[in-house]
Amino acid sequence: MTPISGIKMMKKMIKLTVGVLLLAGFSTSAVLAADGKSEAVKPAAEFGLDEIWSGYHFAKKETQALQDDDFDNPGNLWLEEGAALWSKVDGDAKKSCQSCHNDASKSMKGVATRYPVYYAPRKKLINIEQRINLCRTEQMKAKPWKWKSKQLLAMAVYVNNQSKGMPVNIRITAENKPFWEKGKAFYYKRRGQLDMSCAHCHEKYYGKHIRSNVLSQGHINGFPTYRLKWQKPGSVHRRFKGCNKQVRAKPYGLGSDEYNNLELYVKWRGNGLPVETPAVRN
Amino acid sequence: MYLRQTCQQGAGMFYAGTANPIRISRETEEQMTDKLHLKVVDRRSFVLGASAVAALGALAPLGSTPASAKAWQDFMKEAIGDAKPAEGKVKVDLPEIAENGNTVPYKIHVDSPMSESDYVKSVHVYATGNPGPQIIDAQFTPLSGKAYVKSRMRLAKTQDVVVVAQMSDGKAYMGKATVKVTIGGCGG
Amino acid sequence: MAKPRIKVPKMAKVGEIVEIKSMISHKMESGRRKDKKTGKVIPRKIINALKVTFNGKLVFSASLHPSVSANPYFAFDFKVPGSGDMVFEWTEDGGKVITAKKSLKAA
């Protein structure tokens, strides 16, 4: 089996599971309505949250309106740029993403619901940004895009957006479990001068004000997220850095293994929340 | 703008909101007080202490108005001449509290038939508390159908936003809204 | 600079009032920010004007100042006089002009 047909198989399986979920939804309409925006999602596994809310739920209505309107959402400027890059030939192999993956709305559908994934050749996790750059260097013989470049952000928005509305569905397997464990340990470790863990703000005190901010549960179903503060979209890792700095702790690098492990764990906490990329947040 | 400046400098800045203050365990509270000179107001809320206030203070010159700066009234006079704007006809839609001063969405409607002989010629938007108060100077024509514009502005602090409309006959009207702007959470 | 986004209905009735939307990716560097590392003021670079015409006649125009948010967004109304082309022109400090065009068919 070639890698591509392997992917196709996986995609079929995902479609099937989504189909089953939808069917199940008909009998209990509440399941369908729960999008973490106006109705909480029930966690499938037991951890520190009894109900799961998207960051959308905690945003002001004006910010929600910015996200909801397909034209008004400023993240869509990056989405369109990503769409244009998809078919742009680059690198020595003279290929575009489209040359191999054809229609992104089919080939990239569901990808965001299961990343970051274990990548055997490196024996560790890779996230979507790294997967995109792997395709650039290995498949296209092109230069990798810089982490904060407009191109990588735009393509990450585009790839994630193909799963918009699909529930996040991270499964813990023998392969990714050790990394999930590391991510979990990172999440609950107190750090920085304030000696606080992620859980202090996002598990214990979500819904409370931290000055003018309402603390959310810190989910990542909307990334790359257009932040009003950044005035552009930013990656999950950029957000993690900010949250580390907030408690005056040492931030890790963009693309670091530590943040990949944390990304897997945090994404898993949001299982069931629909992908919202590009979300708009403060 | 200034907000961003402030945010970049003030790592770990956070205050308690009044509506729903964050609860911090006694232990954490003491650690914070210790390490950051955070002044604990009561058991449930805390405010920024000396070091962070100093950081903010250092920024003040940036936010203050340069000597040559003109007030919004000066810009208005340049835009509409000697016309004295009357209250009314101008509807300004702004959030009461801005989630973030970088992007404050707004809508403006001016009541007018927008016919060839009677239409809104121009609309001027001023952030009275910004160091540069001008936001936009817009022109409409009868082709606009309605004098309506929707956009997004930057607001440096809590202030009044004034909107002045001049009609095709030279008469001017104004509307106003107050927006509360708080420093963002500075999450990154 | 990326391609601007515009929304103009493809078809509309003569006399109908339709909402037009536009957005362009731009930092709107206000000229009041300082570089964190060097401490120097970052020079101002903004989109300073948007002009929208239909078959050459002005529909909406605006001078933009540094207090316009990044990625300038403008929505406004338009009373359809007939079929034609709507042309958008954004002017950046330094004189660079970015244009976009959409055709509208009147019924």
Contact A257, A125 (CB under 8 A): yes
Architecture (CATH level 2) of domain A76-161: Orthogonal Bundle (1.10)
Which pLDDT does position C107 carry in this prediction?
Answer: 85
Contacts of B182 in chain A (CB under 8 A): 211-212
Q: Confirm or reject contact between A70 and chain C (CB < 8 A).
A: no
Which token pair is C71? 């990625």
Query: Is the domain of B77 the same as that of B52?
Result: no
Residue at token pair 């690198």: A91
Chain C residue closest in CA terms to A74: C71
B20 lies in a domain? yes
Which token pair is B133? 């108060």
Contact C74, B137 (CB under 8 A): no
Local confidence band at B8 (pLDDT 50, 70, 90 cut-offs) = very low
Q: How many CB atoms lie within 10 A of CB A271?
A: 19
Which pLDDT does position A209 carry in this prediction?
Answer: 83
- Distance separating alpha carbons of residues B155 and A38, to the nearest angstrom: 30
Is the CB of A228 less than 8 angstroms away from the CB of B184?
A: yes
Q: Which of B4, B22, B185 sits opposite A282 (nearest CB)?
A: B185
Is the CB of A229 less than 8 angstroms away from the CB of B13?
A: no
Contacts of A245 in chain B (CB under 8 A): 11-12, 188
**Topology of the domain covering A3-72+167-281:** Cytochrome Bc1 Complex; Chain D, domain 2 (1.10.760)
Give, for B45, the enclosing helix (H) or strand (E).
strand B45-47
Which residue ranges of chain A lie beneath pLDDT 70? 1-33
Contacts of B62 in chain C (CB under 8 A): 32, 34
pLDDT tens-place string over residues C42-101: 999 999 999 999 999 999 999 999 999 999 999 999 999 999 999 999 999 999 999 999
Is the CB of A80 less than 8 angstroms away from the CB of C70?
A: no
What region does A110 belong to: left with phi over 0, alpha with psi -120 to 50, or beta?
left
Beta bridge partners of B165: B123, B173
Top mean pLDDT of A29-33, B51-55, C27-31 is at C27-31
Q: Residue B126, Cα to own-chain centre: how many angstroms?
A: 10
Closest Cα to residue A232, out of A75, A82, A70? A75
Contact B19, A209 (CB under 8 A): yes
Contacts of A71 in chain C (CB under 8 A): 5, 7, 21, 23
User: Does the active-site annotation cover A100?
Assistant: no
Query: Is the domain of B136 the same as that of B82?
Result: yes
Q: Which of B62, B148, B154 sits opposite C69 (nearest CB)?
A: B154
Domain count, chain B: 2
- Distance separating alpha carbons of residues A52 and A96, to the nearest angstrom: 38
Closest Cα to residue A274, out of A156, A112, A138? A112
Question: B68 exposed, middle or buried (CB, 10 Å; 0-12, 13-18, 19+)?
Answer: exposed
Query: Is the domain of B51 the same as that of B81?
Result: no
Which token pair is A131? 């997967």
Under 8 Å CB-to-CB from C60, ≥6 apart: which residues? B138, B139, B140, B141, B144, B149, C20, C50, C52, C74, C76, C78
> Roughly how many angstroms between the first and final C-alpha of chain B, as a whole number?
15
3-state secondary structure chain C: CCCCEEECCCEECCCCEEEEEEECCCCCECCCCECCCCCCECCCECEEEEEEEECCEEEEEEEECCCECCCCEEEEEEECCCCEEEEEEEEECCCCEEEEEEEEEEC
Query: Is the domain of B82 the same as that of B6?
Result: no
CATH for C3-106 is: 2.60.40.10
Query: Is the domain of B103 the same as that of B171?
Result: yes
Judging by DSSP bridges, how do beta strands B39-42 and A225-227 pair with one another? unpaired
Is the CB of C76 less than 8 angstroms away from the CB of B150?
A: yes
Give, for A281, the enclosing helix (H) or strand (E).
strand A280-281
Local confidence band at B70 (pLDDT 50, 70, 90 cut-offs) = confident
B143 lies in a domain? yes
Query: Is the domain of B48 the same as that of B105?
Result: no
B67 lies in a domain? no
Amino acid A33 reads A
Query: Is the domain of B76 the same as that of B169?
Result: yes
pLDDT tens-place string over residues B139-180: 999 999 999 999 999 999 999 999 999 999 999 999 999 999
How many residues are present in chain B?
Answer: 188
Local confidence band at B2 (pLDDT 50, 70, 90 cut-offs) = very low
- Distance separating alpha carbons of residues A99 and B154, to the nearest angstrom: 42
Contact B2, C32 (CB under 8 A): yes
B66 lies in a domain? no
Task: Kindly provide the ipTM of the predicted complex, given to two decimals.
Answer: 0.94
Domain limits, chain C: 3-106
Query: How close, in Å, is residue C5 to chain B by CA atoms?
Result: 14
Which pLDDT does position C1 carry in this prediction?
Answer: 54
Is B119 strand, coil or helix? coil
Chain A residue closest in CA terms to C8: A71
Closest Cα to residue A265, out of A236, A242, A241? A236
Contacts of B139 in chain C (CB under 8 A): 58, 60-62
Chains with 3+ CB–CB pairs under 8 A to A are B, C
What does the angle CA A168 – CA B103 – CA C45 come to, to the nearest 5 degrees? Answer: 115
Domain span including residue B154: 72-181
Which token pair is C60? 């909406």
Query: Is the domain of B148 the same as that of B95?
Result: yes
Q: What are phi and psi of B84, to 5 degrees?
A: -100, 110
